[in-house]
Structure 1
Amino acid sequence: MIVPRLVFAAKSKSTVTSEEALQATEEVSQTIQEVGMKLWDISEISLQEVESSKYLKNILKKNEFKLTSEGTSHVPTAFIAEYGTGAPVLGIMLEYDALPGLGNEAVPYKQPRKDHITSGHGCGHNLIGAGALGAALALKNLMKEKEISGTLRVYGGAAEETEGAKVYMARDRLFDDVDTMLHWHPLNVAGVANIRSAALSQMYIEFSGKAAHAGLNPWDGRNALAAVEIFLHSVNMMREHIRPTARIHYIIKNGGEAPNIVPDKASVLLTCRDENREYVEKSVVWLKSMAEGAALATQTEALAVDYYGVHDLLPNTPLAERMQHHLEKIGVPQYTKQEIKFAKRLQKEAGLEETGMTKDIMFLPNEQTLGGGTDVGDVSWQTPTMGLIMPASPEGIGVHTWMATASHGSSIGTKAAIASAKVLTLMGIDLLLDNKLLKQVKDDFLKRTKGFVYQSPINPAIKEPVSLPKSMRSYESALELKNSFYKQAGDDQFMPTE
């Protein structure tokens, strides 16, 4: 079991009022806006956030943070930066990857970007990077001005949408000495993230058959696509027998080259989710058995691997209650008539009731499980963690849509990032100065994790994200990496390195 440190810094003689903390955040609000829009403009997808990562690191260095790790845990675009020394150690997480195919101008109708960039921040990670960075800058300034002891650590969490860096960091135990971790996420409502997100595993399934002319001599071939069809039919029959909390979704990555050639290769990318790692891992075993059965039925060979995964998100009651207090103090942003008009136009495009932006803060959630997953989950099982959500898009508009991309590139998104930075700054000051709160937080964490031993959901044979472009790999070539995986895993699994 990972036990957080119970040695506290001597109580600081410094005091920081709420007004001072909010003023410190206000002083970096222009930076928050600039960062949010710059990341939105760049819109680099997971594992390719080279310019985004460089941009954020440069801002941190200019603001007296020391870069202690770059290319962290073999994720080239991940990093860690620090300010200060000693205990307590307060962590803040940044995200900055965009999504493929969601590019759109920051207008309330569907319009491709004029610069022809097709990716877009449909999940608002440009705002996460901006708001969390803003909170870190505000806290640094307060620590310096008020001579507050402790370490402020910023984690550059690359690639949250695919093979999130935080799980690789967790595997390397890079959160062991962190006392508490803070984060936030844009959505269409306002609330504290006192929830349990789903655990998940990502799988690659490949079938190998034998090519043949589909018209002249198909009997000499063995159809890999037929094996995929049987496998996916089995997956859909499985749905009757999975828990209501489970989700299974997939795409056919490769289905052959031409209809008159019996496909000798076919592959599937699949994600399996459920409320905890135990349930997910049981489903993965079942899915691998299905692949074997489909191969037997078609006289092909099956290769299957769960190459990446995350844990569910672990709540923390003292953190949640204190964050709820600060969120209610800050409230939702105030919007102009033009922003409300923008929001309603997006809702009209989506066929929704034109209500505009949310006006209320949700009651503190009661730790219910949601269907989505995040690599923040693995952090939360290693150190007490809490986040918030802030409206950056109109009511009813979901993330991972072009409408969210448009909103996240507007002043509506900027206001969400600034408001979130204020909440995170207030929380950060509390955690740096209030030893009583910090002990309550850690006691809650120890109670929830009693008997738990963290095990990484990433196979130890995998040294770096398998989706890295070849030009960014640090280890073997694709073929060598595949052979290395076979040797280390000792079974019939396969690395989707192409």
Structure 2
Amino acid sequence: MTHPTTMGQNDVLGTDRIIACADRKAPTYIALSDRVWGMPELRFEEHRSVEEHIRAMAAEGFRITRNVGDLPTAFMAEAGEGELCIGFLGEFDALAGLSQEAGAVEHRPLQAGGAGHGCHHNLLGAASLLAAVTLRDALAEAGVAARVRYYGCPAEEGGSGKTYMARAGAFDDLDAAFCWHPADYNHVMSASTLANIQAYFRFTGRAAHAAVSPQVGRSALDALELMNIGINFMREHMPSEARVHYAITQTGGVSPNVVQASAEGLYLIRAPRMEDVVDLFGRVQKIAQGAALMTETSQEMIFDRATSGVLPNRALEEVMQEEFEAIGAPPFDAADYAFADRLAAAALTDADRRASAEAFHAPEGFPRNLHDEILPLPLVPRQFFGSTDVGDVSRIVPTAQCLTATAVLGTPFHTWQTVTQGKEPHAHKAMVTAAKVMAATAARVVRDPALRAAAQAELRSRRGSDRHVSPLPEGTVPPRGADRNPGAAAEG
């Protein structure tokens, strides 16, 4: 499918103009990314990072709206006028336990147990800011009326910030949305992701001396272990593409001579279709009830968050692929390749590279440790086995996203190996490339009504309903205070 451009505006809103606008502002947003790298904050607690983003957009003359969706670390920044509105999605949250010295090829935590940008969201938010500013500047130079909006989205890692924002109607008036994600390959993402539900299960029993009077104790820890055993048996009898993950977040203590009176686990249930997730979640709840019954304890389920799967939009993805190929892969140099070789030799394995190639359907045996090509767009959308709260945005507005190689090939994300690369020159180059690709694709949407119509028609067809239904139960609010980051669970 090809989408003809609108004559008369092509030169000013074309790819060359977008590249020039992005290059002019890139140093400012590279510096912003590095500052956010140095202040890693967990889900719903990204206050310093948000202020950095807001200052940057206010300095560009964007109008700021805070507390979007009643989330203190969610905001919108908008510039321009007109009915047409283009959105860019940004993130800035970090992960627990991934503190790491920048540029080191061995594990060197800066702070024991500290957080770190193990998914390169410091780069993610900065590039989306740069894309928004680039499009605003190009539109102003062309004299084209349209609104450009940046969304500062909190808590992608285990918090589903965009899902709460979507429920509040934050994306309802957009004509198209664009985002990207750091990766170790360059490509346009044409894939569905897994929908999910996450919840805590807390068991309460009765403490006792484990040797003198064990008969009067009722072990909450036993109940949690039985719950895990039940889920292990369930795994044989659920869809092969479904997943159930868990973390034990509270064991009731460390003394073996005490019958533990409290225990808690955090459970993440995923599947391609939300209806399958809901079904599995119901079965997990029954297993928890059975574990409590067997141990004569009580149990409580505390809903944490939910996310829909991404709906691909081929109309936008095909245009994004064209723009990516016109712009080219990140312009890595000899120093970038040398660093990549050192890190690969010291901290990565052939198994890491194979796993990454399989995840992205990429050919194995790429000759360099940095991906400096662009993968072809798949013939049909694929199934990706991660999750992202972009899914709920993609069911409201046509959405496209690219991935660029901010990381050395085979880098496992959510690890110190990712954090250490977050301020490297190769990561900066990939970040700026992503901004150019998003802005150039958005410019095509602005000047091509036929493309907008095709993208909207595809969304309606794939969604199969008049409107998106939020996966969040009615009345659910985001975790507050100490409950926000007890397990620091990850989304992807």
Is the pair's TM-score, using the shorter chain for normalization, greater than 0.5?
Answer: yes
Question: In structure 2, what is the equivalent of residue 363 of structure 1?
Answer: 376
Question: What is the CA distance between 1:12 and its match in structure 2?
Answer: 8.8
Q: Deviation per CA, 1:106-163: give whole Å up to 9, x if none.
A: 2242243557782111101011111111111111112222221111111111111021
Distance in structure 1 (CA, Å) of the matches to 2:223 and 2:14: 65
Is the contact made by 1:227 and 1:294 (CA closer than 8 Å) also made in structure 2? Answer: yes
Question: In structure 2, what is the equivalent of residue 239 of structure 1?
Answer: 235
Query: Given the alignment, which residue of 413, 429, 442 partners 1:415?
Result: 429
Is the contact made by 1:12 and 1:149 (CA closer than 8 Å) also made in structure 2? Answer: no
Question: In structure 2, what is the equivalent of residue 490 of structure 1?
Answer: none
Question: In structure 1, what is the equivalent of residue 220 of structure 2?
Answer: 224
Question: In structure 1, what is the equivalent of residue 457 of structure 2?
Answer: 443
Query: Given the alignment, which residue of 332, 339, 347 partners 1:342?
Result: 339
Question: In structure 1, what is the equivalent of residue 131 of structure 2?
Answer: 135
Greater alpha carbon shift after TM alignment, 395-404 vs 447-456: 447-456
Query: Given the alignment, which residue of 141, 159, 179 partners 1:145?
Result: 141
Unaligned runs of 5+ in 1: 1-9, 474-495
CA RMSD of aligned residues (A): 2.1
Helix, strand or coil for the counterpart of 1:315?
coil
Helix, strand or coil for the counterpart of 1:461?
coil
Residue identity over aligned pairs, in percent, reads 31
**How does 1:82-481 map onto structure 2 within 5 Å?**
82-114=78-110, 118-257=114-253, 258-353=255-350, 355-365=368-378, 366-451=380-465, 453-463=467-477, 465-469=478-482
Structure 1 residue identity aligned to 2:209: H
Structure 2 residue identity aligned to 1:380: S
Distance in structure 1 (CA, Å) of the matches to 2:51 and 2:348: 39
How does the TM-score come out when normalised to structure 2? 0.90
Is the contact made by 1:83 and 1:153 (CA closer than 8 Å) also made in structure 2? Answer: yes
Is the contact made by 1:188 and 1:398 (CA closer than 8 Å) also made in structure 2? Answer: no
**How does 1:69-84 map onto structure 2 within 5 Å?**
69-84=65-80
Question: What is the CA distance between 1:49 and its match in structure 2?
Answer: 0.9
Is the contact made by 1:96 and 1:129 (CA closer than 8 Å) also made in structure 2? Answer: yes
Is the contact made by 2:9 and 2:142 (CA closer than 8 Å) also made in structure 1? Answer: no
Q: Deviation per CA, 1:80-112: give whole Å up to 9, x if none.
A: 111112221100011011111112112242243
Q: Deviation per CA, 1:48-79: give whole Å up to 9, x if none.
A: 11110001001101101001x21221211110
Unaligned runs of 5+ in 2: 1-5, 351-366
Helix, strand or coil for the counterpart of 2:193?
strand
Question: What is the CA distance between 1:243 and its match in structure 2?
Answer: 1.5
Change (3 A) 1:195 1:31: same
Question: What is the CA distance between 1:351 and its match in structure 2?
Answer: 4.0
Helix, strand or coil for the counterpart of 1:205?
strand
Helix, strand or coil for the counterpart of 1:409?
coil
Is the contact made by 1:35 and 1:129 (CA closer than 8 Å) also made in structure 2? Answer: no
**Aligned residues between the structures:** 462
Is the contact made by 2:107 and 2:416 (CA closer than 8 Å) also made in structure 1? Answer: no
Distance in structure 2 (CA, Å) of the matches to 1:112 and 1:347: 16
Change (3 A) 1:275 1:25: same
Distance in structure 2 (CA, Å) of the matches to 1:112 and 1:48: 25
Q: Deviation per CA, 1:330-352: give whole Å up to 9, x if none.
A: 22112222211111122122342
Is the contact made by 1:47 and 1:468 (CA closer than 8 Å) also made in structure 2? Answer: no
Distance in structure 1 (CA, Å) of the matches to 2:442 and 2:337: 32
Greater alpha carbon shift after TM alignment, 72-81 vs 353-362: 353-362
Q: Deviation per CA, 1:276-330: give whole Å up to 9, x if none.
A: 2111010000000000111111111121243310000000111010000011112
Question: What is the CA distance between 1:180 and its match in structure 2?
Answer: 0.4
Structure 1 residue identity aligned to 2:309: D
Structure 1 residue identity aligned to 2:451: L
Is the contact made by 2:94 and 2:116 (CA closer than 8 Å) also made in structure 1? Answer: yes
Distance in structure 1 (CA, Å) of the matches to 2:39 and 2:281: 36
Change (3 A) 1:37 1:117: farther
Distance in structure 2 (CA, Å) of the matches to 1:206 and 1:469: 16
Distance in structure 2 (CA, Å) of the matches to 1:11 and 1:203: 52
